[in-house]
Chain A
Amino acid sequence: MPETVDLSINTALVRRILVGFLRREIRRAGFDRAVVGVSGGVDSALACFLAAEALGPENVLAVRMPYRTSSPQSYEHGGLVVAATGVRERTVDITPMVDAYLERYATDASPVRRGNVMARMRMVVLYDHSASFGGLVVGTSNKTEILLGYSTLYGDSAYALNPIGDLYKTQVWQLAEAVGVPEVIVHKPPSADLWAGQTDEGELGFSYRLADQILYHLVDLRYTPDDVVALGYDAALVQRIWERVRRNHYKRLPPPIAKLSHRTVGYDFWYLRDWGT
């Protein structure tokens, strides 16, 4: 057995910081409301619970966006989140929009391409509701996903701010349980639900518990890949994960701008978003 680190967190402390983050940062951007895409999975459930606590449930809009191949169970689980938090809800079936495009322009699209179109269509719906409801889009990507690049660029990776992006998946499970996300959501196998029977761990080829241990050593503790292997982890897996982190780095950064002038956005124009607030 490889050596492991106990990744468990003080959920009361983390909850306090994250709820304060959402409240303060949404308000200083000039909003009192939030929009969350609620898929029925644990990440968006947790984000929705935190947003409801930060702003009051009447100020949070959960948008459920099933596609015709989505699992009915996901939709039901989204309903459990809405019921448990008391947030407002809107269901937008993305099937007609997605199929209109796919049937006309992309009949030969692979499952991954189709999944990306769905994820980006959900982004379009969320951002339109951001405007109509007057709330900021709260992100639902966790640290494991962000590091592995297991997301659709400008799809689920598009949001105004993200309360859970520095929590590994195993920590998301722990915090979700602590804030009261229904157990059936916390304990089911994670899935992007982009096609029938898809599971994250099946698609990635490794478990989140294992990936979190490897990533925590590589990223947080600054181990080299060789040092991680020396702890007893499979060398090929460590290499594969680290390569995924490297290859998907572009998803974590704003696109580069070709520098020409003395002062260029992205290189020498340094202000926080909170500038002046």
Chain B
Amino acid sequence: MKFTIALAQTDATLGVVEANLETHLHLIREARQQGADLVVFPELSLTGYIVQDLVPQVALEPHNADPAFTALLEASRSVDVVVGFVEADTRYRFYNSSAYLSQGRVVHIHRKVYLPTYGMFDEGRFFAWGDHVEAFDTRFGRFGMLICEDFWHVSPPYLLWLDGADLLLLPTASPGRGIVPARERLDTARWVENVVQAYAGLFTVFTALVNRVGYEDGIHFWGGSALFGPDGTPLVQAPYHEPALTLHTVDLRALHRARARLPLLRDERTALFQRELARILSRRDLPHAPHL
């Protein structure tokens, strides 16, 4: 089976959902005309990244009563869409979420489970923590979604792999930093790309990084969205630093070939993992074991 994915590397107007929605709808039409079956937007693509006290104001409930989602769900009748937004639940907890929309329905929502709250990041101050990491079925196959910091931790992609995901969608808003020592790429670009490529190879899955571009005050987002094949091969990459719509036709039979050669999934010893994890977490006297 083949389908065409479009990595929509966008900038954002900070805190103005209507303006960003317009960009989304335009790019969805554009991608459809170019033959895309799925368009993926970056983290918080409908709001901008450093939303801070704007969070309650820009929060959406992802269903047909919301005008932005009405328009996006309508657009999803012809092409699947992954969109990043601030999600309000019915009790007004606000999440950093990405939604997978298809055929006019919300297929899956991932709420970011790791909110970076250190250094330049302050997400834990403004967002509620997501509590689920689940793969989901699409009309192309079983996928998983993780948002930015989620995949700086190794366990979420591992869980999605075990849960059957053959393609990891990774919307991101990665601030560029690290210019010493002089290298071709920023430190953050090098690290994120290495990690996303490594997951593709380690889990024999496709990984699709969709990073945003633009600036928010002095902070710069570097783009470079990229798709890797299930042996870790780079398949396509968007340019750095500028908006782009980058399409690639994914041949899901590559999974067959990769796993015929390298049966990491077949040989994964989940029972051993579970046993050892249970042992480690039960030893509350061990100072090195985290217990969150």
Q: Cβ of B176 and Cβ of A272 under 8 Å apart?
A: no
Shortest Cβ gap from A133 to chain B (Å): 23
Stretch at the interface among B22-30, B50-58, B86-94, B138-146: B50-58
Contact of B180 among A9, A24, A276 (CB under 8 A): A9
Contact of B241 among A16, A166, A275, A277 (CB under 8 A): A16
Contacts of B186 in A (CB 8 A): 13
Q: Cβ of A274 and Cβ of B14 under 8 Å apart?
A: yes
Contacts of B53 in A (CB 8 A): 269-271
Q: Cβ of A275 and Cβ of B182 under 8 Å apart?
A: no
In the complex, whether B237 has a CB less than 8 A from a CB of chain A is: no
CA A6 to CA B180, docked complex, whole Å: 7
In the complex, whether B216 has a CB less than 8 A from a CB of chain A is: yes
**B interface SS class:** loop
In the complex, whether B183 has a CB less than 8 A from a CB of chain A is: yes
In the complex, whether B290 has a CB less than 8 A from a CB of chain A is: no
Q: Cβ of A24 and Cβ of B215 under 8 Å apart?
A: yes
Contacts of A271 in B (CB 8 A): 52-54
Contact of A8 among B50, B54, B182, B215 (CB under 8 A): B182
Contacts of B287 in A (CB 8 A): none
- Which of chain A's residues 153-195 have a Cβ closer than 8 Å to chain B? 161, 166, 171
Which chain B residue lies CB-closest to A5?
B180
Contacts of A7 in B (CB 8 A): 180
Contacts of A270 in B (CB 8 A): 52-53, 126
In the complex, whether B281 has a CB less than 8 A from a CB of chain A is: no
Count of B interface residues, CB-CB < 8 Å: 26
For this complex, into which size category does the number of interface residues on chain A fall? 20 to 34
Residue picked from B183, B215, B220, most chain A C-beta under 10 Å: B215
Contacts of A220 in B (CB 8 A): 180
Which chain B residue lies CB-closest to A167?
B179
Which chain B residue lies CB-closest to A168?
B180
7 contacts between A and B (CB under 8 A): A8-B180, A8-B182, A272-B50, A272-B217, A274-B216, A275-B14, A275-B54
Contacts of B264 in A (CB 8 A): none
In the complex, whether B78 has a CB less than 8 A from a CB of chain A is: no
CA A222 to CA B201, docked complex, whole Å: 33
CA A192 to CA B236, docked complex, whole Å: 50
Contacts of B13 in A (CB 8 A): 276-277
Contact of A275 among B15, B183, B185 (CB under 8 A): B15
CA A274 to CA B48, docked complex, whole Å: 10
Which B residues are within 8 Å of any A CB, using their own CB?
Answer: 13-16, 48, 50, 52-54, 126, 176, 179-186, 214-218, 220, 241
Q: Cβ of B217 and Cβ of A274 under 8 Å apart?
A: yes
Complex interface bits, A4-27 against B, C-beta within 8 A gives 1, otherwise 0 = 011111100110110011001100
Contacts of B241 in A (CB 8 A): 16-17, 20
CA A130 to CA B50, docked complex, whole Å: 28
In the complex, whether A273 has a CB less than 8 A from a CB of chain B is: yes
- Which of chain A's residues 236-277 have a Cβ closer than 8 Å to chain B? 269-277
Contacts of B52 in A (CB 8 A): 270-272
CA A166 to CA B180, docked complex, whole Å: 12
Q: Cβ of A21 and Cβ of B50 under 8 Å apart?
A: no
Contacts of B14 in A (CB 8 A): 272, 274-277
Shortest Cβ gap from A277 to chain B (Å): 6
A9 touching B215 in the complex, CB below 8 Å, given contacts A21-B220, A270-B52, A275-B54? no
Which chain B residue lies CB-closest to A11?
B182
CA A270 to CA B126, docked complex, whole Å: 10
Q: Cβ of B217 and Cβ of A20 under 8 Å apart?
A: no
Contact of A20 among B16, B50, B126, B220 (CB under 8 A): B220
Complex interface bits, A93-135 against B, C-beta within 8 A gives 1, otherwise 0 = 0000000000000000000000000000000000000000000
CA A8 to CA B180, docked complex, whole Å: 7
CA A21 to CA B176, docked complex, whole Å: 12
Q: Cβ of B179 and Cβ of A9 under 8 Å apart?
A: yes
Q: Cβ of A13 and Cβ of B179 under 8 Å apart?
A: yes
Contact of A21 among B16, B182, B218 (CB under 8 A): B218
Q: Cβ of A276 and Cβ of B16 under 8 Å apart?
A: yes
CA A271 to CA B54, docked complex, whole Å: 7
18 new A-B contacts at CB < 8 Å, known A8-B182, A20-B241, A272-B216: A5-B181, A6-B180, A6-B181, A8-B180, A9-B179, A9-B180, A13-B184, A17-B241, A24-B215, A25-B215, A166-B218, A216-B180, A269-B53, A270-B53, A274-B14, A274-B48, A274-B216, A275-B54
Contacts of B215 in A (CB 8 A): 20-21, 24-25, 274
CA A73 to CA B67, docked complex, whole Å: 63
Complex interface bits, A44-82 against B, C-beta within 8 A gives 1, otherwise 0 = 000000000000000000000000000000000000000
CA A180 to CA B253, docked complex, whole Å: 52
Contacts of A6 in B (CB 8 A): 180-182
A9 touching B217 in the complex, CB below 8 Å, given contacts A270-B53, A272-B50, A275-B15? no
Contacts of B185 in A (CB 8 A): 13
Which chain A residue lies CB-closest to B184?
A10
Which chain A residue lies CB-closest to B50?
A272
Q: Cβ of B217 and Cβ of A8 under 8 Å apart?
A: no
Shortest Cβ gap from A102 to chain B (Å): 36
Q: Cβ of B180 and Cβ of A161 under 8 Å apart?
A: no
Contacts of A276 in B (CB 8 A): 13-16
